[in-house]
Structure 1
Amino acid sequence: MVYGPTMTDTILIERRHDRIAELRLNRPEARNALSRELIGALDEAVTRLGKDPGIHVIVIFADGTAFCAGHDLREIRAARAGPDEGRLFFEELMAACSDLMRRIVLCPKPVIAGVAGIATAAGCQLVASCDLAVASTEAGFATPGVDIGLFCSTPMVALTRNVGRKAAMEMLLTGDPVSAARALELGLVNRVVDADRLEDETLALAARIAAKSPRTLRIGKRAFYEQAEMPLAEAYAHTARVMVANLLEQDAKEGIGAFLDKRPPSWEPLS
């Protein structure tokens, strides 16, 4: 299913594959740069799909040769013509982009990026904000704001929650591109596949996850990000409480029973 007037004049294409929602960035002429409009469209879609009981996993792809080249620099330059030299627009843009990245993390459904081509600056941030990422062998990643006098400070938030500090600082300070293979070593992506297999492999990964209990996925994703910000003792106390609550859910009862009875489980639909 495609949302929007046509395939060619909507900046975000949406399709459904059983329990999987596919979102496809569709600004290939702008290397899928995150304009204010595209940020809003992505935010709306992730929010809506996060509440859709028929969707278990969200996948983000992009049309064209680039996954996402970051913020739209032409839009930013145009905003400087305003009486405040763009300050209000810049504040709203950064707030909206930060809200989108948080929305992906807080979304109760797993979100997977399927990356073909480059993902730079806020595009790299988008990949790092997703729960999982599959990259083609031709993908590349960079935070090159330093090259144009604009340090990638907001992308840094997501980047440093995925890769080690030294590696993150090297990317941020040099702006040098990182290959898909190196991104895999750093933990920025989960796997690298041949370019012609990217969509199939990404959707296959999504399908494996979508087959799990949607209630359990929601519980687990939320707990993952919550405990990651806690000291060790607090994290164990919190996740112990989560485990107890999870054990009392019907899907845990059903899943354990199905495993012991050697039969496929039957998961409760989300309300």
Structure 2
Amino acid sequence: KFLFSGLKQCKYCIVRSLLKMILTFSSPSIKTFHGTLRLCLPGLRSMKHDITRTSLMKQLHSTSLLRSADLVSVYDAGGVRKITLNNPRKRNVLSFAMLQELEAQFKESDAETSVRCVVLCSSGPVFSSGHDLKELKIDSGDTAKIQEIFSLCTRVMTSMRRLSVPVIAQVNGLAAAAGCQLVATCDIVLATDKSSFSLPGSTFGLFCSTPGIAVARCVPQKTSAYMLMTGNTINAQEALTSGLVSKVVPEEKLQEETDRVTSAIVAKSRSVLALGKKFYYRQIQMGIEEAYAEGEQVMLHNLQYCDSQEGINAFADKRKPHWEHTDRKV
């Protein structure tokens, strides 16, 4: 109210800029953001601006500054798309509806060239507790719906790997079962020292077979076997040592570290990172000779990108490169 009452010549762009600033620095939930709107609108109306909550939200949606759903909230800032699991009351379970939202958001993020990296985070003290066990009850021997849930989960995980831009998990809490699978599937994982990770399915009579696929590809065999067969939780430092996590920071430094990583990614060519990410995961499955043979061809292909030659020229000229973010060739 104070800010808006002092703006004698307030224009719509100023309002939008202030709201964008609120989004960027406070990372609010949808509920919190709507509360902010309620505080702002009286001041705007007192200045005789014809702005309502509905019209303001419509403007924000049309500019992709803020989008919301019941279970997932999304907003963009500086090429970074932040996708927040937004069901803390149910420990951010990966219900069928939640998985549908994630699949749609990843597909959209891949298609929008303005998105240069995705940050996956959560609201509440639990990153995600995994599948909604209530959805996994078999009714009269009919497993078709459950098969659909598992197939959807697989599509979500594989779509993250196929996504053209890096996906960063921002973890501050427990990631369990399919929630741990979600973390393990991300390209980079930043976690607080309060975070923990587990594959506890066997405790409930359902072995974490599919979550184990992602985790076993990140950590040593003995570590994944320990997690799967005991259901015991490992802490953030153990996750870092085993390779499940990229970096561990104090809780108060998590956003700062995330910003540092995303800034480094956004400074790169989107098309070059897309090419590199695709080959990186493909070569891991190859023998070393096959990987080198294909790697040579990928490097040659990469050098034909306009962005590649621009980067080399910029280095020689001691200036910042001006990326096209396309795979256009010279």
Whether TM exceeds 0.5 here: the answer is yes
Q: What is the aligned partner in structure 2 of residue 160 from structure 1?
A: 216
Write the distance in 2 (CA, Å) between the matches of 1:199 and 1:51.
Answer: 26
Write the distance in 2 (CA, Å) between the matches of 1:24 and 1:217.
Answer: 23
Q: CA deviation at 1:244?
A: 0.2
Q: What is the aligned partner in structure 2 of residue 195 from structure 1?
A: 251
Q: Based on CA coordinates, which of the two structures has the bigger radius of gyration?
A: 2
Q: Which secondary structure state, in structure 2, belongs to the residue aligned with residue 268 of structure 1? A: coil
Q: CA deviation at 1:3?
A: 1.6
Q: CA deviation at 1:51?
A: 1.3
Write the distance in 2 (CA, Å) between the matches of 1:253 and 1:259.
Answer: 10
Q: What is the aligned partner in structure 1 of residue 153 from structure 2?
A: 97
Write the distance in 1 (CA, Å) between the matches of 2:68 and 2:173.
Answer: 25
Q: CA deviation at 1:111?
A: 0.3
Q: Which secondary structure state, in structure 2, belongs to the residue aligned with residue 203 of structure 1? A: helix
Q: Which has the higher contact order (CA 8 A, sep 6+)?
A: 1
1:59–1:203 CA contact under 8 A, matched in 2: no
Report % sequence identity. Answer: 37
Q: What is the aligned partner in structure 2 of residue 71 from structure 1?
A: 131
Q: CA deviation at 1:202?
A: 1.4
Q: Which secondary structure state, in structure 2, belongs to the residue aligned with residue 94 of structure 1? A: helix
> Quick check: 1:33 aligned with 2:93?
yes
Matched residue count:
263
Q: Of 101, 121, 125, which residue of structure 1 is paired with 2:177?
A: 121
Counterpart of 2:111, as a letter, is: K
TM-score (ref. length: structure 2): 0.78
Instruction: Give RMSD over aligned pairs.
Output: 1.2
Q: Which secondary structure state, in structure 1, belongs to the residue aligned with residue 244 of structure 2? A: coil
TM-score (ref. length: structure 1): 0.94
Q: CA deviation at 1:160?
A: 1.1
Q: Of 114, 130, 141, which residue of structure 2 is paired with 1:84?
A: 141
Structure 1: runs of 5+ lacking an equivalent: none
Q: CA deviation at 1:57?
A: 0.3
What per-residue deviation string (whole Å, max 9, x for no partner) do you get for residues 149-207 of structure 1?
11100011101110111111111111110000110000101101111221232132112
Counterpart of 1:259, as a letter, is: F
Counterpart of 1:135, as a letter, is: A
1:67–1:116 CA contact under 8 A, matched in 2: yes
Q: CA deviation at 1:40?
A: 0.6
Q: Which secondary structure state, in structure 2, belongs to the residue aligned with residue 16 of structure 1? A: strand
Write the distance in 2 (CA, Å) between the matches of 1:247 and 1:20.
Answer: 26
Q: What is the aligned partner in structure 2 of residue 107 from structure 1?
A: 163
Structure 2: runs of 5+ lacking an equivalent: 1-64
Q: CA deviation at 1:268?
A: 0.7
Counterpart of 2:310, as a letter, is: E
Write the distance in 2 (CA, Å) between the matches of 1:132 and 1:204.
Answer: 13
Q: CA deviation at 1:76?
A: 2.3
